[in-house]
Each structure stands twice: as C-alpha cells, then as structure tokens.
Amino acid sequence: MVPAESSASTGRNLHVVLLICALFPLPAEAAITYTLHLSGVNSGIATQITNAMAEAVGLYNANGQFTKSLNVYYNSGVPTANANWAGTINFGGTRNTRVAMHEIGHTLGIGTHWKYASLMTSGTWDGPVANALRAEFDGSGTMLGDSVHMWPYGLNFDSEDGTRNRVRHVMMMQAMQCDMGLGLVCDLDSLVGSTVRILGRASNKVMDAGGNSDGSTVQMYGDWGGSNQRWTLISHGNGIYSFRSTQSDNRALDVYNWGTTSGTDMIIWSYSGQNVQRFYVDEYADGWYRIRPVIATSMCLAADGTGNNANVETATCSTSTSQQWKVVP
C-alpha cells in the first residue's frame, strides 16, 4: 500500500505554503503525542520506527494544530503499516517518515471516521476548507479519494513525497479535520459563503433559531441537522462576520433591539448587514472562539445554560466555556 520512501527533496522553498493556523498562536497543550511499544523488537527495526515517528510527529506539531495520543507497535505480519481512529499505529514491512505521516493521517480520521465517509462521495471530497486549500496549492481542483485514502497530498506513494509535500500533507490533514468538524482550528475565511454550525463548548449543542420570523429567539439545541441550525457565513473584512440563517436567507443573527448590555437576547431579523448583525469572531483557546457584537465589543455571546432551549444572549466577556464557540461545517 505504501512503497519505500524515495529521497526527499532538500529544498526549503516553502514560502508558497500558507499555514491554515498562521493567524492563530498554537497553544502548548494542542499537540500529537505518542508512546512506543517496542520492547523485544529487533533493535534495527525499533530504531527505524523511533526515528520515523520522531520526525513525523515533529512535522505535524510544527505545521498544524492537532490533539491526539498515539500508541505505536511493530507487527511483522503487517505488509506495510496500518492505523485506526483510536490512535493505534502498527508498523510492518515499511518503516520511515513518510509512512509514519501517512498513518498519522488515518488516526486523525482519514478513512477511519464516519464523517470522512459522509464527505468522500463518489471519489470527490465535499468539504469547503480542504477543497479551497487544494485550489490554493494547485490553482484549481478538489480533493479526491476512496473509502480509505485521499489524494493528492496523502503521501500514499513515493511520487507524493518531498519536503514541500510533507508540509502540505499536514495542512491538508488540518483542513479535512476542519471539514469533518474534528479539528482544533478552522480558517474562518475559507468557510465564507458556506454553511456552518455554531457549536457551544459548554454543552456541545448548536445555535438554533427557535422560529422563522423576525424576532425569533436563538437558543441552544442538540444538533439534528435542521436548517434552523445552519448558518451561511458572511465576511465583512477585518475579522467581522454575519451569520445568515439557512432556513431563510433573508434573516440573520441579530442583537435584539440594538442592545448593548449584558443579558440581551440574540434573535434572527431580516438581513440588513448593519452593525447589529455584525460580529467579531476571535480565537480564544484551542480553536474555540469568542463572538462579540460590533455594537458592544465588551460583550460576548453566551449560552444561558447547557440544556436544550437555553437562550443565547450577551454577557460581559469572561473565561466561561459558555462563551466559547466553534464555527464548523
């Protein structure tokens, strides 16, 4: 499945590569870690696996933002290598950095998570973030794949390897995780114009429009896929966004009655693009965001509880997880 590694390019001309997370500081706790289980393994084989994992994990942590704990084994009965979503990697007949990076991709959901299968349909990836990154890299095109692997930048074969492609592989893993709703960081601008969910950290529920008319309140509710739980992301530049309800494109997330004090309800209202419907979206921690109304920048959107039907309202910005959100496809 994964041939032996060819000589990697020694070129370091990576200026064409823009890291998805370049705008965001990487918190120290967001990292891939691993444990080697190589007791009794031939010392030469153990050294190959040790070196491959050290370089591969170093590249992932230097060029992306992930969180995963891996357990690494050697199994002489494995033809090349394999891995699963649980974080287990089994090296067999092929033991090098490219193979290690490829298998780490499987532990991050490539070919191993049900959300991958839901987005890889008829050989084409149906996720806006990864497809936008592919177009940035190559000028056009979408990500391709099958039930197990994706390409390009999957590091499936010798022909895909090289210094630049290893970095692009990491970036693509982060983009595909974002499309699957599994990633720590999503580049918001790559989601502009697409349908997103606004996920609350405290409850793991999503923002939900309680009705489909002007003044309908916005609440938290378990994600059942309804159009009242989906929003189209609109960019106004300078980190300012609007969220238009997909159940009615002419309505948007709105601060009730232009309120600027704590406890003001969030509603939907006919879209005007005015400041009452504009929000700063700032990363706060580990890929979670604060959403602040342009008309009241000391306020943050907050969920008033963790149960279904809890109101979404403004509150003085704090460290509370009730004020932390993810904007994901």
For residue 245, the cross-strand partners are: 231
With a pLDDT cut of 90, the percent of the chain lying above it is: 72
Q: What are phi and psi of 276, to 5 degrees?
A: -65, -15
The pLDDT value recorded for residue 249 is 64
CA distances (Å), 158 to each of 2, 7, 16, 39, in order? 8, 9, 22, 30
Q: Has residue 1 got a pLDDT over 80? A: no
Q: What is the pLDDT of residue 30?
A: 61
Pair of tokens at residue 220: 């938290």
Pick from 165, 191, 195, 207: which is nearest to 312 by CA?
207
* Selection from 273, 285, 278 nearest residue 325 by Cα: 285
pLDDT(58) > 90: yes
Among the listed residues 247, 263, 275, the one whose alpha carbon sits nearest the alpha carbon of residue 303:
263
Q: 65: closest CA among 88, 32, 33?
A: 32
Q: Is pLDDT larger for residue 2 or for residue 262?
A: 262
Confidence of residue 277 (pLDDT cuts 50, 70, 90): very high
- DSSP letters of 135-162? HHHHSS---EE-SS-EESSS--SGGG-S
At 79-106, the pLDDT tens digits run 999 999 999 999 999 999 999 999 999 9
Residue from 106, 3, 102, 1 nearest 59 by CA: 102
Please answer whether residues 329 and 178 qualify as being in contact, where contact means their C-beta atoms are separated by less than 8 angstroms. yes
15 contacts 59 by C-beta, under 8 angstroms? no
**Could you report the per-residue pLDDT of 125-161, keeping only the tens digit for each?**
998 888 888 988 898 889 999 999 999 999 999 889 9
List pLDDT tens digits, range 163-205. Answer: 999 999 999 999 899 888 887 667 777 788 888 899 999 999 9
- Kindly state the average pLDDT of the residues 38-57: 97
**Radius of gyration over alpha carbons of the chain, in Å?**
22
d(CA 288, CA 286): 6
Query: Is the sign of the CA dihedral 175, 180, 185, 188 positive or negative?
Result: positive
In the predicted model, what is the mean pLDDT of residues 96-118? 97
